[in-house]
């Protein structure tokens, strides 16, 4: 296959011993920057994202999974049975000609395969290895089983999510620690790569997804350290803005995706100043509220927040969300429709910026995936191909990169080391 890889990391090779979301996402970010990211997989232990939905055309199969397709764009895939010593040796040969290794298995797993950092340093002294785990490689909880939703709760998100007065903590709706860990992992790999360029030395990165998630809530940690109080649940409100929330709009007439009702049309509004509040009052046809002492200042509005929100929703309930957005934005008020997945995929702005990736996949054809959210003027990046099928690049990696003969490749395949 001819390559058309672009980006500042062109020439950098990454070996992925990854699973699920966090590790693969870190590898994809590096691939988006131009690195050749090679994901090591096995039919003995398929990645959960190859077996989880949504499946293309609702037909199951390891090469039809949308989740895998989304977070493995621009990569290569090889199949190696890592439980076999011969498989581990193949990985070591690949590491010897690579720059970065990313892994996110439970602590101790890669060491049992003979692929820990000390093992890999012996074949590539300046290798950079990034280990993403739930709690880090050391510490009292380092051996605990970890999943993203559980880290959401452990990090403090759940106690802050919900409506005032609710007793039960709420999950936030997605596993933020996974992609957040991936971002931190890619960032650490880049910094380590820069350090190696300056000093010639590789290094090991021990990344705790729990710590990375807690870092997102630094303001809550600081608030507790200053006051000793737990922040209250605010639902959609904000302690520094009023109004700030999600407001119901007029029901849709048609065009809703499966799973949404006509009344599922909403508008997000945030007023950060008294001037924005006055502009909002003019747009909704209630300029007198801007001068009313109960609402004229931020402190007064917070004291009468229920009344403020009722007045705003009286207007939004008569509005189509995109038209309401146009009116409010024209007045200088931050307002946006609450998008469904369909709205996001069809959004004119995102499509005008060519954000979405439309690459031909050998099994499912062209499907829309998210693309690269940054634009670099000097070193343009691109999604150079769709996510790979399972073992799609066996011949390229084993024969072209590692120099195996056709007979050696067939022997490893027949013995099950390569599947």
Q: How far apart are CA 329 and CA 315, in angstroms?
A: 15
Q: Is it the case that residue 210 has pLDDT exceeding 60?
A: yes
pLDDT tens per residue, range 130-157: 999 999 999 999 998 888 888 999 998 8
Within 8 A by CB and 6+ apart from 85, the residues are 114
94 band by pLDDT with thresholds 50, 70 and 90: very high
Mark which of 303, 338, 373 sits at the end of a domain: 338
Regarding whether 365 and 329 lie in a shared domain, the answer is no
Residue 264 designated active-site: no
Regarding whether 212 and 309 lie in a shared domain, the answer is no
Specify the pLDDT at position 196: 98
Q: Is it the case that residue 252 has pLDDT exceeding 90?
A: no
Of 118-122, 163-167, 323-327, 351-355, minimum mean pLDDT range: 163-167
Regarding whether 125 and 155 lie in a shared domain, the answer is yes
pLDDT tens per residue, range 54-93: 999 999 999 999 999 999 999 999 999 999 999 999 999 9
Q: Is it the case that residue 293 has pLDDT exceeding 90?
A: yes
**Average pLDDT for residues 334-343, to the nearest whole number?**
93
The total of structural domains in the chain comes to 2
- Determine the structural domain holding residue 275 and report its residue range: 243-338
pLDDT tens per residue, range 344-372: 999 999 999 999 999 999 999 999 999 99
**Residue 3, in any domain of the structure:** no
Output the pTM of the full model: 0.92
Regarding whether 352 and 334 lie in a shared domain, the answer is no
Residues in the chain: 419
Specify the pLDDT at position 3: 60
**Average pLDDT for residues 378-405, to the nearest whole number?**
96
Regarding whether 161 and 96 lie in a shared domain, the answer is yes
Look up residue 168 and give its two tokens.
């039960």
Mark which of 274, 306, 338 sits at the end of a domain: 338
How far from 332 is each of 259, 270, 276, 298, 325, CA to CA, in Å? 33, 11, 7, 17, 10
Within 8 A by CB and 6+ apart from 215, the residues are none
**Average pLDDT for residues 284-307, to the nearest whole number?**
97
Q: How far apart are the first and last CA of the chain?
A: 21
Specify the pLDDT at position 259: 67
The residues with which 101 forms a beta bridge, in sequence order, are 15, 129
Strands 244-248 and 266-270: antiparallel
Regarding whether 269 and 190 lie in a shared domain, the answer is no
**Average pLDDT for residues 111-122, to the nearest whole number?**
98
**Average pLDDT for residues 199-208, to the nearest whole number?**
98
**Average pLDDT for residues 107-113, to the nearest whole number?**
95
Specify the pLDDT at position 218: 86
Specify the pLDDT at position 2: 44
Specify the pLDDT at position 1: 41
Q: How far apart are CA 339 and CA 252, in angstroms?
A: 13
How far from 295 is each of 131, 234, 313, CA to CA, in Å? 52, 19, 16
Q: Where are the beta strands (DSSP E) in 330-378?
A: 334-337, 357-361, 365-369
Regarding whether 397 and 333 lie in a shared domain, the answer is no
Looking at residue 57, what DSSP letter applies? G
Regarding whether 324 and 379 lie in a shared domain, the answer is no
**Average pLDDT for residues 302-316, to the nearest whole number?**
98
Regarding whether 320 and 202 lie in a shared domain, the answer is no
Regarding whether 135 and 52 lie in a shared domain, the answer is yes
Regarding whether 175 and 32 lie in a shared domain, the answer is yes
How far from 146 is each of 104, 149, 152, 178, 179, CA to CA, in Å? 11, 9, 11, 11, 14
Mean pLDDT for all residues in the chain? 94
Q: How far apart are CA 92 and CA 120, in angstroms?
A: 7
Among 178, 254, 306, 343, the one annotated catalytic? 178
Q: How far apart are CA 168 and CA 347, in angstroms?
A: 36
Strands 128-133 and 334-337: unpaired
CATH number at residue 269: 3.30.1540.10
Tell the residue number behind the tokens 């002492």, with chain if given. Answer: 293
């Amino acid at each position: 296959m001819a390559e058309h890889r672009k980006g500042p990391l062109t020439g950098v090779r990454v070996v992925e011993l990854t699973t699920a979301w966090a590790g693969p996402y870190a590898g994809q970010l590096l691939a988006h920057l131009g690195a050749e990211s090679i994901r090591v997989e096995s039919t003995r232990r398929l990645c959960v994202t190859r077996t989880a939905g949504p499946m293309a055309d609702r037909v199951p199969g390891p090469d039809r999974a949308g989740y895998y397709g989304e977070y493995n764009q621009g990569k290569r895939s090889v199949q190696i049975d890592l439980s076999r010593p011969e498989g581990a040796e193949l990985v070591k040969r690949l590491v010897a000609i690579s720059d970065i290794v990313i892994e996110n298995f439970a602590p101790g797993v890669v060491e049992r395969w003979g692929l820990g950092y000390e093992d890999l340093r012996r074949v590539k002294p300046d290798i950079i290895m990034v280990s993403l785990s739930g709690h880090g490689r050391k510490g009292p909880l380092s051996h605990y089983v970890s999943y993203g939703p559980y880290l959401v709760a452990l990090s403090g998100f759940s106690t802050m999510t919900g409506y005032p007065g609710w007793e039960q903590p709420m999950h936030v709706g997605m596993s933020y620690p996974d992609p957040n860990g991936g971002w931190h992992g890619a960032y650490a790999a880049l910094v380590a790569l820069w350090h190696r360029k300056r000093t010639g030395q590789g290094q090991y990165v021990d990344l705790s997804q729990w710590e990375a998630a807690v870092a997102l809530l630094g303001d809550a940690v600081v608030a507790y350290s200053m006051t000793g109080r737990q922040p209250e649940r605010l639902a959609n409100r904000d302690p520094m803005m009023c109004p700030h929330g999600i407001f119901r709009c007029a029901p849709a007439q048609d065009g809703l995706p499966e799973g949404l009702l006509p009344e599922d049309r909403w508008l997000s509004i945030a007023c950060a100043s008294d001037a924005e509040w006055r502009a909002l009052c003019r747009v909704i046809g209630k300029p007198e509220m801007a001068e009313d002492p109960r609402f004229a200042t931020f402190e007064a509005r917070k004291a009468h927040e229920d009344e403020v929100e009722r007045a705003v929703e009286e207007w939004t309930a008569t509005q189509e969300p995109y038209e309401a957005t146009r009116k409010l934005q024209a007045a200088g008020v931050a307002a946006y429709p609450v998008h469904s997945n369909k709205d996001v995929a069809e959004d004119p702005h995102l499509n005008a910026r060519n954000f979405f990736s439309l690459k031909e996949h050998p099994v499912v054809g062209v499907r829309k995936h998210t693309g690269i959210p940054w634009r670099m003027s000097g070193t343009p990046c691109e999604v150079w191909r769709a996510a790979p099928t399972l073992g799609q690049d066996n011949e390229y990696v084993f024969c072209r990169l590692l120099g195996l003969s056709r007979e050696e490749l067939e022997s490893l395949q027949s013995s099950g080391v390569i599947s």
